Chains A and B, each alone.
Chain A
């Protein structure tokens, strides 16, 4: 009798949090003040997902969102606050590589799940990868790899490269040179320009690139740097007979401000939100537009999918314990607005992809044409190479 009651109590204590009332608190931190163009839509995507999940019942999500100050030191303090005071079940967010890596390292130290939604750095899942960190977006390496087949097809010999001088730009450049040299032996890299983030001296950079007389250019510029580069390059005729590849250039966050100056024919990775008509994307787009009276950006998809990923993990784990959530996320398959993705067991990278296409102008606005979806699963180095990089 006594043992039976005890059994029931134990059963209840296990079952109760798992079914029905399972309440999860997500501690989200991001550099809202520093990268607002990307993160405002991101926040809207997150909130939409939270509302959907809470309406459907089952898992109850609570989102605590904080500004991380944009620096690793502040971000770590904010994360500590979320862990210690808010007692969140998982951390999520961050934008810049250095902030993401610092929070990822803290998560490993405190043994709490961290879903890095946005940072692109390869190190997040490879050199600095750890048990508690998972990353949603396609990494710098993956997105670069998506552009390389198109770049190799053009059979251009002389390439010039321009990139923002920090980890993202540096690793995009390194990956591009490596992958293109493999795909097209004999290719030459005739000029390389790196400029301080948000402070490109566009006139001088465009001039220096033009001097090298390249057949093609690979750029990983974005935001204000991209705007300045495009304007100077247009004025100075740099793009006239030169093919250009620009990482992230098709994301509405960075494409829309270019308006009627959008350079035609550039190959980019991005998100042609108005033209993707798969059922899963249509459903997302309709819901988003209905909720926010605005169209979704790349950031919206990231925020939306990241929150759903955590909800999936909680459902699969039937628990909010970080160790169990980590196990649940490994190999988890789920649906996103971009189609199905898998969270790779080997390096905790999701296989979410990106759209590869060309820029065009339509009615004074930039848009993507000739696009196709590049599935993230197909643009990965060999498992052996990943294992060599990842020291766990």
Chain B
């Protein structure tokens, strides 16, 4: 690359960094004060985009930007008052589920309001052209963004360090109970911070419309970018977010500049994994002050009815049609997957955003063993979980050194890296197409036979996991979760317990993946993508974390709902979101 090329890619990186910073700053503020991991932050960004495109047609681009930001901020205040305020005391995971429900609702709202097609905004009047820099043409609008990012940073910095409001925010980030005890009106503080964070997301979205069409897929893309930046920078740290945005913006631009397409897909996740391994609390973060959360509740054992269920299910092939068997096969696969995730997340106390990696490793291993090494299918099915075991052992070793949201984000990063390898490594994994022709052996090929196989192995796997929870290892694991300090004191090697839990959970997820591969006949990178991990989380949370049988129920409900509702209702995501919200608000669902 020539000098001028480096300069221009550097400027491209700066412009990208500014956009990223706006979203990440809002997320970081919200997390710092309310400890809520706002999954819906990307949805607020998306809403900002759509609103700005829509408003720009009526009032012009420059008027639409502040209007969209204010509108999204107002919506943020509403969300805080109507929803989040009621669940601050609920476990973190419940809050996560609630904001995930918002993602679903907002996506379908945008679909309903603006239709499915991408909407590119107008160019910014006055800044539509380009200026000559080092003999190249560089867009004026990008220069504007380059200036704007630091300007917003400076304004936020001023707000946080020089005003009373800022002092309160920082105090609340440090210790929110203490702020409350000193007589500060927390409600008002939380609402304002959430509205401010939402407005920043809306502003980011509105400013993006000349460069990027508003589309329905952007919400999850942006929120994962924002998470990465917030975590790399250190949770709750605005300067950290700024630094991380610069770092990631530049890395992305130079990956393109040097033509490193293979790395572009996972660049930010590689950065995050490296940063977290070296600095467990991000670049400028500090160890989190633990919120004084209630200890995890009692773990309910499955009822006798639940235990008798597999026996009853054996007769299903005699009385049902072939499709019911297909659906139930899916349910068993996901039940095993969800139970393995629950093992990590409930008794293990480690939230994983990347559990699909092990599901996918199992699936790919099964497919490769059959297609490349011509192994008999039965053998491949049993050997495949070993690949997941190896992956979990490797990744778990790094992950258990972290805790809380940092751990969750590292699992996400590692899963994304696995995904991008599967996506890129054409020669082995079949690239984006995946591998086809992964069918069971002849004697298992019929629907009832494969149904019974999945039922048997699924039940066996779930029984194993439940048995482990009740074993002495299971108790040591729960002790490590509830009070690491006391557990260490009585001689439990906390990290060893957690690492083992990681490996066990990964292995059984791998078995679920292998079963899935043979039931579909094909696999592709989506088997180990983020949405699959999120689905797993939703299943676990839907069923309730404090019951061993919860994930089974959750997997059944989710699979059945998805199948039924997606066929019958156009806005099935919104329907699912509404159901989740209702459960969250009305029953605080089996968390008590």
Contacting residues, chain B, for A194 (C-beta < 8 A): 261
- Whether B483 sits at the interface, judged by CB under 8 Å, is no
Contacting residues, chain A, for B526 (C-beta < 8 A): 71-73, 98
Contact B434 A72 (CB under 8 A): yes
Contacting residues, chain A, for B261 (C-beta < 8 A): 165, 192-195
Give the distance to chain B from A221, nearest Cβ to Cβ, in Å. Answer: 13
Contact B259 A81 (CB under 8 A): no
Contact B436 A77 (CB under 8 A): no
A73-96 CB mask vs B (1 if < 8 Å, else 0) is: 100110011011100000000000
In-complex Cβ contact of A101 among B212, B253, B433 (8 A): B433
Contacting residues, chain A, for B12 (C-beta < 8 A): 201, 203-204, 207
Contact B259 A235 (CB under 8 A): no
Contact B431 A235 (CB under 8 A): no
Stretch at the interface among A33-41, A47-55, A150-158, A286-294: A33-41
Contact A170 B431 (CB under 8 A): yes
A13-27 CB mask vs B (1 if < 8 Å, else 0) is: 000000000000000
Contacting residues, chain B, for A192 (C-beta < 8 A): 259, 261
Complex: A236 Cα to B136 Cα, angstroms: 8
B521-558 CB mask vs A (1 if < 8 Å, else 0) is: 11110110000000000000000000000000000000
Complex: A278 Cα to B550 Cα, angstroms: 63
Stretch at the interface among A226-234, A306-314, A368-376: A226-234
Asked if A207 meets B566 with Cβ closer than 8 Å, knowing A84-B326, A98-B434, the reply is no
Complex: A33 Cα to B432 Cα, angstroms: 19
Contact B322 A84 (CB under 8 A): yes
Contact A257 B118 (CB under 8 A): yes
Contact A105 B527 (CB under 8 A): no
Contacting residues, chain B, for A384 (C-beta < 8 A): none
- Whether A364 sits at the interface, judged by CB under 8 Å, is no
Stretch at the interface among B2-10, B40-48, B86-94: B2-10
- Whether A262 sits at the interface, judged by CB under 8 Å, is no
Number of A-B contacts (CB under 8 A): 182
Contact B118 A98 (CB under 8 A): no
B36-64 CB mask vs A (1 if < 8 Å, else 0) is: 00000000000000000000000000000
Stretch at the interface among B137-145, B160-168, B185-193: B137-145
Give the distance to chain A from B104, nearest Cβ to Cβ, in Å. Answer: 13
Q: Of all chain A residues, which has the CB nearest B1?
A: A211
Contact A109 B118 (CB under 8 A): no
- Whether B169 sits at the interface, judged by CB under 8 Å, is no
Contact B221 A201 (CB under 8 A): no
Complex: A104 Cα to B522 Cα, angstroms: 10
- Whether A106 sits at the interface, judged by CB under 8 Å, is yes
Contact B264 A196 (CB under 8 A): yes
Contact A73 B527 (CB under 8 A): yes
Complex: A203 Cα to B136 Cα, angstroms: 12
Complex: A212 Cα to B264 Cα, angstroms: 19
Contact B221 A109 (CB under 8 A): no
- Whether A335 sits at the interface, judged by CB under 8 Å, is no
Q: Which of A33, A37, A72, A167 has the most CB of B within 10 A?
A: A72
Contact A207 B118 (CB under 8 A): no
Complex: A166 Cα to B429 Cα, angstroms: 13
Q: Of all chain B residues, which has the CB nearest A223?
A: B118
Interface residues of B in 408-466 (CB under 8 A from A): 423, 426, 431-434, 436-437, 439, 447
Interface residues of B in 252-288 (CB under 8 A from A): 252-253, 256-257, 259, 261, 264-265
In-complex Cβ contact of B326 among A37, A81, A191, A208 (8 A): A81
Contact B326 A77 (CB under 8 A): yes
Complex: A170 Cα to B221 Cα, angstroms: 23
Complex: A257 Cα to B321 Cα, angstroms: 46
Asked if A167 meets B9 with Cβ closer than 8 Å, knowing A80-B326, A210-B136, A223-B118, the reply is no
Asked if A205 meets B566 with Cβ closer than 8 Å, knowing A102-B522, A165-B261, the reply is no
Q: Of all chain A residues, which has the CB nearest B330?
A: A77
Give the distance to chain B from A174, nearest Cβ to Cβ, in Å. Answer: 11
Contact B252 A207 (CB under 8 A): no
In-complex Cβ contact of A228 among B212, B322, B327, B524 (8 A): B212
Complex: A366 Cα to B61 Cα, angstroms: 23
Contact A77 B327 (CB under 8 A): yes
- Whether B198 sits at the interface, judged by CB under 8 Å, is no
Contact A235 B212 (CB under 8 A): no
Contact B566 A69 (CB under 8 A): yes
In-complex Cβ contact of A76 among B118, B123, B139, B521 (8 A): B521
Contact B118 A227 (CB under 8 A): yes
Contact A193 B432 (CB under 8 A): no
In-complex Cβ contact of B213 among A83, A165, A203, A224 (8 A): A224
In-complex Cβ contact of A231 among B123, B256, B516 (8 A): B123
- Whether A327 sits at the interface, judged by CB under 8 Å, is no
Contact A101 B326 (CB under 8 A): no
- Whether B340 sits at the interface, judged by CB under 8 Å, is no
Contacting residues, chain A, for B139 (C-beta < 8 A): 203, 232, 235-236
Contact A196 B136 (CB under 8 A): no
Q: Of all chain B residues, which has the CB nearest A86?
A: B323
Contacting residues, chain A, for B8 (C-beta < 8 A): 207
Contacting residues, chain B, for A203 (C-beta < 8 A): 12, 15-16, 139, 142, 211, 253
Give the distance to chain B from A202, nearest Cβ to Cβ, in Å. Answer: 7
Contacting residues, chain A, for B447 (C-beta < 8 A): 84
Contacting residues, chain A, for B524 (C-beta < 8 A): 71-73, 98, 102
Q: Which of A104, A204, A224 has the most CB of B within 10 A?
A: A204
Interface residues of A in 221-253 (CB under 8 A from B): 223-224, 227-228, 231-232, 235-237
Contacts from B to A (Cβ < 8 Å) = 1-2, 5, 8-9, 12-13, 15-16, 115-118, 120, 123, 128-130, 136-139, 142, 210-213, 215, 217, 221, 252-253, 256-257, 259, 261, 264-265, 321-323, 326-327, 330, 423, 426, 431-434, 436-437, 439, 447, 516, 520-524, 526-527, 563, 566-567
Q: List 24 A–B pairs whose Cβ atoms lie within 8 Å, in order of A's numbering.
A: A67-B567, A72-B523, A77-B520, A77-B563, A98-B433, A101-B433, A102-B436, A166-B423, A192-B259, A193-B256, A195-B264, A199-B221, A203-B16, A204-B9, A208-B257, A211-B5, A211-B257, A224-B118, A227-B120, A231-B123, A231-B210, A231-B211, A236-B137, A236-B138
Contacts from A to B (Cβ < 8 Å) = 33, 36-37, 40, 66-67, 69, 71-73, 76-77, 80-81, 83-85, 97-98, 101-102, 104-106, 109, 121, 123, 128, 165-167, 170, 191-196, 198-199, 201-205, 207-208, 210-211, 223-224, 227-228, 231-232, 235-237, 257
| Beyond known contacts A72-B520, A202-B211: 6 more, CB 8 A cutoff | A73-B520, A81-B326, A165-B264, A204-B253, A228-B211, A228-B213
